[in-house]
């Protein structure tokens, strides 16, 4: 079988270029609020819809950082009718001074009440970068779909098309 230039391009060169581009991308949290990592001290970081209270501890071998704490939703700008998270994902990002993500972890939660009185607990475990990358900063992200509480859902709780009302919000690391 004779390979044409077009066949070579589509079967070899193009996939190689895509893999190269994927390998060169990094994540950034320059657009998110960050705090310096201070071990064994309670810290608080506020985002648009969540406030994260946490502390960090490095393991004895020095290669992992554990972040434990809880997140409380800020109900100020959320829809008044939103009392339930249909989906909720929280993320922790370990980054350098420029906001380049060095390690990250995301946690998915089952549907749950969305209340300023019910904290969402979390524990992230991130690999520390090799070498001397200091100082390190920490940022948090989230994505959520907010709806009415499922047992209170009636036809009147939907919009004029009969569709469920959903509020979506997200703050995450961006690819660069």
| pTM, full prediction | 0.79
CA dihedral (166, 30, 104, 119) positive or negative: negative
Give the pLDDT score at 158: 52
| Beta carbons of 87 and 166 less than 8 angstroms apart | no
How far lies 118's CA from each of 33, 103, 123, in Å? 23, 28, 16
Give the pLDDT score at 152: 52
> Does the domain at residues 27-175 carry the CATH identifier 1.20.1300?
no
Tens of each residue's pLDDT in the chain, 176 residues: 555 555 544 555 545 444 444 445 788 888 889 999 999 999 999 999 999 999 999 887 778 999 999 999 999 989 999 999 999 999 999 999 899 999 999 999 999 999 989 999 999 999 998 876 678 999 999 999 999 987 655 554 555 556 789 999 999 999 87
CA distance 110 to 120: 11
Give the pLDDT score at 55: 97
Give the pLDDT score at 63: 86
| Beta carbons of 28 and 101 less than 8 angstroms apart | yes
Give the pLDDT score at 162: 62
Concatenated DSSP letters of 52-108: EEEEEEE-TTSSEEEEEEEEEE--TTS-TT--EEEEEEEEEEEE-TT-BEEEEEEEE
Give the pLDDT score at 154: 54
CA distance 91 to 31: 15
């Amino acid at each position: 079988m004779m390979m044409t230039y077009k066949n070579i391009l589509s079967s070899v060169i193009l996939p190689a270029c895509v893999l190269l581009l994927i390998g060169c991308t990094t994540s950034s949290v320059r657009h998110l609020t960050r705090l310096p990592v201070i071990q064994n001290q309670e810290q608080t970081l506020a985002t648009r819809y969540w406030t994260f209270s946490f502390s960090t501890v490095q393991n004895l071998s020095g290669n992992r950082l554990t972040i434990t704490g809880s997140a409380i939703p800020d109900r100020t700008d959320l829809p008044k009718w939103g009392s339930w998270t249909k989906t909720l994902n929280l993320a922790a990002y370990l980054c350098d001074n420029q906001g380049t993500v060095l390690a990250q972890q995301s946690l998915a939660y089952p549907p749950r009440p969305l209340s300023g009185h019910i904290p969402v607990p979390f524990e992230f475990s991130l690999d520390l970068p090799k070498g001397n990358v200091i100082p390190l900063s920490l940022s948090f992200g989230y994505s959520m779909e907010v709806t009415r509480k499922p047992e209170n859902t009636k036809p009147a709780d939907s919009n004029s098309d009969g569709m469920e009302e959903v509020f979506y919000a997200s703050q995450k690391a961006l690819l660069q």
